[in-house]
Structures are given as structure tokens and as C-alpha cells.
Structure 1
Amino acid sequence: MNLDDFDVLSFDCYGTLIDWEAGILEVLRAWAQEAGSELSDDELLTAYGPNEAGAQRDSPAALYPRILAEAFVRTGDTLGISVSADWADKLGASVPDWPAFADSADALASLAQRYKLVILSNVHRDGFAGSNRRLGVQFDAIVTAEDVGAYKPADNHFDAIDGVLDRLGVPRSRLLHVAQSLFHDHVPAKRHGLASVWIDRRHDRPGWGATPEPSEEYSFDMRFPSMAAFATAAREAHPDA
């Protein structure tokens, strides 16, 4: 695949640009410690991931803070540790505090010189606004779960991208999807026939973390360990940009 063949990059945000595992763990770790639990970070994330996906599947129209709170309660049930309403609300309100990966802002600034940038995110508008301040670029379009009434890996975000491309005046063949989550993004991208890049943020760690293991067919056309590596490859594909 030649990165010069694309004009628009659509991004997952949480897990790809924003370190959602670090943000979630900030709350889960404190809750577990208060309960006297010695569960490891990986054990907490592994318990949490399927519960968030389940909450999203069961309540596709709910705003993301509600999803986070419900997923936390379900995680507590899974682990046999009670989650109070205060703890659930704390996780629900935490999205704007989640840190960006160290390379995200610079990589996006570089990519913006060569491509139009679009967000396809499993979050609400207000939550993404807080995260966007950490990313430092103006996206050409933003599609959230709040906008489409569903959470990836449902098809709604990828159905909505056609309208975005029409407004940008770019054919679908010139769109490249960029994401960390095989489960949330590369499965539906394959269903929709989109080229995609896997940003393998967990390349140096075992397991799936907070992202469920995909049970459906997926594919990706290129794989990079970081946004920095992807941006470098894009610069090399556009030497005159």
C-alpha cells in the first residue's frame, strides 16, 4: 500500500491518540486499592474491556459517561468488588482528564500538512472536546457515538463517513482508516471495504488490555508501533509536501 494514494485519514481516538487505558486505570487502580484488592493493572483492564463493550451493545444511545459508569459497575460484579455510585460517576466524568500519547500531537500536526483528518470516536461530543485540546489540531470532521447513536464495532460510524467524504469532496477510495483497536475498528473497516492502518500501541505488552479480542474477521494493510512511526512513513511517501 502506498500512503500517497490517500487524501483523508479517519482516526479512532481512544486507544490510538488518547491513552484510554491509562485514564481508565487511574480510577480503577484507586478503587481496587481502596477495596484492599491486589489485582494487577492487566487483570483490571482485562475484566473491564468486555464489560464496556457489553454496555455499549446494550445501550447504544447512551452517552459515553453513562457507558463508563455502567461498565465499571459490571466490572465490579465480575470481580466481586462493589462499585459505589460515586466511583462509577468518577470514571464517567474522567474522559477529559485522559492523557494523550506522547507522540500524538506532533504526529497529527505532521499528517495535517498532507491529509484531511477525521475523527470516528466511541465518545460523546463534550468528552472529545476535552481530549481535542490535548491533541492540538483542528480536525476536518468529527463523528462521535453521540452523533450516530451507536458504538463501534457497529456500522453507524462507517455509514456516516460517506456523508463526511461528500462534504470534503473526496472519493471513498482515497480514505484510510487509522486505529489501534482490531475489535472496534478493523473489524467494521473490513466489512466496509476500507483500507486501514493498525497502530499497535500494545506491541511491547502481552494480552489485549482493555480492548476485547476480536471474534469476527478483520484485516489491516499496514502496521506501525506508534503514531510517530506512521507519521514518519507518511512523510517519506510525500517527500514534496
Structure 2
Amino acid sequence: MRLTDFEVLTFDCYGTLIDWESGILAALAPWRKRAGIALGNEVLLTLFSEVESKIEAERPTLLYSDLLAATLVEMGERSGARPTESEARAFGQSVKDWPAFPDSAEALAYLHRHYKLAILSNVDRASFAHSARRLGQEFDLVVTAEDVGSYKPALKHFEVALATLAAMGIPKGKVLHTAQSLFHDHVPAKQMGLTSFWIDRRAGRTGTGATKPPPVPVKPDGTAPSLAAMVEMHRREADR
């Protein structure tokens, strides 16, 4: 696989471009402090991954801000420390505060000179608008869970994106799906016959953090530990 063979990069946003694990932990801090939650960060992120993905599968049309609130309620029930209504509501609205990875904006600016950029995200439009401002980019295509009425790893994001790109004259073979989550992104990308590139933001760390492990083995076609590293790979290819 050569990065320079593609015309479009379809990105997952949260975990890939936006540091959602730092954002999640910061948003959980008031509840953890008030309730005296003794669970460590990795245990709490694993609990989040289990509950969030369960609710996404059970309630695929639920707006993501409401889904986040419901996730905290169930996390509280499982850990014996139910959040207050205001804590759940604040967690649901917290996407606006989640930071971008330090390399994301600069790397996207470079990549946009060479590719069309698309977002395939498990959030709602209003939440993503805040993140887009942090990333400093106008994306060529944005497909959210709110748009398609389902959450990845369901295939609707990919179906809509590929149909839209095909109408623009861009075939599937020229699309590279670029993402951190093996569970949410690389498994369904492979089911759709897409080439995929893994931004392994958790390289060197144990566990899968805020994302569930993939239900089946999956092998991305390329990998880098950061978006900046992917940019350097592209530069080297282009120089050759």
C-alpha cells in the first residue's frame, strides 16, 4: 500500500483526531470526586467502552449527547455511584471540551493539500461542530451518527460516504479509511472492502481504553503511532 495512491482520506474523529480519552476523563472528574470513585483511569475507560457500545447498539437513533448522558448513568449504576442529573447532563455536553491531539490540526492542513478529507463519526452534528473548530478544517464530507441513524461498527456511515464519493467520481479503491479504533472502524471498513490505515494512538499501552477490542481479528493495511507520523510517511513517498 502506498499513501500516494489514494484521493480521499475518511477519518474517524474521536480517538484519532480528538483526544477523547483525555476529554472523557476530564469530564468524569466532578462525578469521580463527589462520589469517591476509586477506579483507576484505565478501568474507568474500559467501563465506558463497554457501556457506550452497548447503548449504541441498543438505541442507534439516540442523539450522541443524550447517549453520553445515559452512558454515565449506567456507569454509575455498575460502580455503585449513580450520578446526579446535572452530572449526567454535563457529561453529555462535554464533547465541546475534548481537546484535539497536538498534531491533528497541522497534519490535517498538510493532508488536505493532497487529499479530500471526510469524517465518519459516531457523534451528532452539534457536537462535531465544536471539534471541527478545534481541528481548523473544512471537511469535504461529514457523516455523523445523527445523519444515518446508527453507530459504527454498523455499516451505514461507510455506505453513505462511499455512495456520496462515488457520485463525485471517486471509486472505493481511491479511499483510505484512517482511524484509531479497530472495533468501530477497521472491522467495518474491511467488511466494506476498504483499505484502512491504523493511527495507533495507544501504541505501547496495555488494553484498548475507551474502545472495545475488535470482535474478530483485523489487520489494517498500514499503521503509524500518530497523524504526524503518517504525514512523514506521505512526505517520504512523495519525495521518492
Task: Give matches, 1:50-199, under 5 Å.
Answer: 50-199=50-199
Deviation at 1:25, TM superposition (A): 0.5
User: Counterpart amino acid of 2:88?
Assistant: A
How many residues are treated as equivalent by the alignment? 240
- Provide TM-score, normalisation by structure 2: 0.97
Conserved 8 A contact 1:47-1:79? no
Task: Give matches, 1:13-28, under 5 Å.
Answer: 13-28=13-28
Deviations 1:180-231 (A, max 9, x none): 0000000100101100000000113211111111112422001100000011
Deviations 1:103-145 (A, max 9, x none): 0000100100111100000000111111000001111110000
Deviation at 1:29, TM superposition (A): 2.5
Distance in 2 (CA, whole Å) between partners of 1:216 and 1:145 is 23
Corresponding residue for residue 215 of structure 1: 215
Conserved 8 A contact 1:61-1:149? yes
- Structure 2: unaligned runs, 5 residues or longer: none
Deviation at 1:4, TM superposition (A): 1.4
After the TM superposition, which of the residue ranges 2-11 and 214-223 deviates more from structure 2? 214-223
User: Counterpart amino acid of 2:97?
Assistant: D
User: Counterpart amino acid of 1:94?
Assistant: S
Deviation at 1:21, TM superposition (A): 0.8
Conserved 8 A contact 1:29-1:41? no
Deviations 1:74-95 (A, max 9, x none): 1112212112211110110111
Distance in 2 (CA, whole Å) between partners of 1:197 and 1:72 is 31
- Aligned-residue CA RMSD (Å): 1.2
Structure 1 segments, 4+ long, off by >3 Å, are: none
